[in-house]
């Protein structure tokens, strides 16, 4: 059996899903369902579990009463939780120095790289701009959740809509 796709989720993916944010939750849900049935893996940092308590511009998106909901969410068997250890921390320093990525985001990038993730999934425009500029062979693809699936589906739909005229070649 081929290796499963390994996705790393930035905190904003968890926020998007948990807060049912428009144009985010709908992108995250199919990935969670895929992971729950074993079709892919989702890696998160232990840092994410703490970071998801506070969102930029909103001091308390999750009040104390949300404790059980959050713990239940992060205890899902579909999440692989990566610890922030010395290897990750030093890799994050390198990401900061070499790619001008802020330390908090550098921890996410470093964790994705160390975890050998195929994709770092995020809604952060700054990180999305760094796609294919990090890592070695292969480079790290940074995308919105499931973007490669949406592209493949669009390509498939486009091919279905093509009409082959006599005497022409299909592309």
Taking only the tens place, the pLDDT of each residue in 46-71 is 999 999 987 666 666 788 888 999 99
Q: 3-state SS string over the chain? A: CCCCEEEEECHHHHHHHHCCCCCCHHHHHHHHHHHHCCCEEEEEEHHHHHHCCCECCECCCCCHHHHHHHHHHHCCCCEEEECCCHHHHHHHHHHHHHHCCCHHHHHHHHHHHHCCCCEEECCCHHHHCCCCCCECCCECEEECCCHHHHHHHHHHHHHHHCCCCCCCCCC
Confidence of residue 139 (pLDDT cuts 50, 70, 90): very high
Q: Compute the mean pLDDT over every residue in the chain, rounded to the nearest whole number.
A: 88
For 111-135, what is the mean pLDDT?
Answer: 96
Q: What percent of the chain has pLDDT over 70?
A: 85
**pLDDT given for residue 32 in this prediction:** 96
What average pLDDT does this structure show over 67-92? 96
- What's the mean pLDDT in 75-87? 96
Is the torsion defined by CA of 155, 161, 164, 165 positive or negative?
negative
Instruction: State yes or no: pLDDT of 43 exceeds 90.
Output: yes
Q: Which domains does the chain have, with CATH numbers?
A: 5-147 (3.40.50.1010)
Q: The pTM is what? A: 0.85
């Amino acid at each position: 059996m081929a290796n499963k796709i390994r996705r790393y989720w930035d905190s904003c993916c968890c926020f998007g899903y948990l807060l049912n944010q428009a144009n985010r939750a709908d992108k995250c849900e199919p990935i969670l369902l895929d992971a729950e049935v074993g079709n892919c893996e989702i890696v998160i940092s232990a840092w994410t579990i703490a970071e998801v308590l506070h969102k930029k511009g909103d001091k308390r998106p999750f009040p104390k009463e949300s404790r059980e909901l959050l713990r239940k969410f992060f205890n899902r068997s579909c999440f692989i939780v990566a610890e922030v250890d010395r290897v990750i921390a030093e890799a994050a320093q390198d990401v900061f120095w070499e790619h001008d990525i802020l330390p908090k985001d550098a921890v996410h990038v470093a964790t994705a790289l160390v975890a050998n993730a195929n994709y770092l999934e995020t809604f952060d425009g700054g990180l999305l701009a760094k796609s294919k500029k990090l890592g070695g062979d292969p480079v790290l693809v940074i995308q919105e959740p499931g973007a490669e699936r949406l592209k493949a589906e669009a390509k498939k739909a486009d091919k279905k809509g093509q009409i082959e005229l006599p005497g022409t070649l299909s592309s």
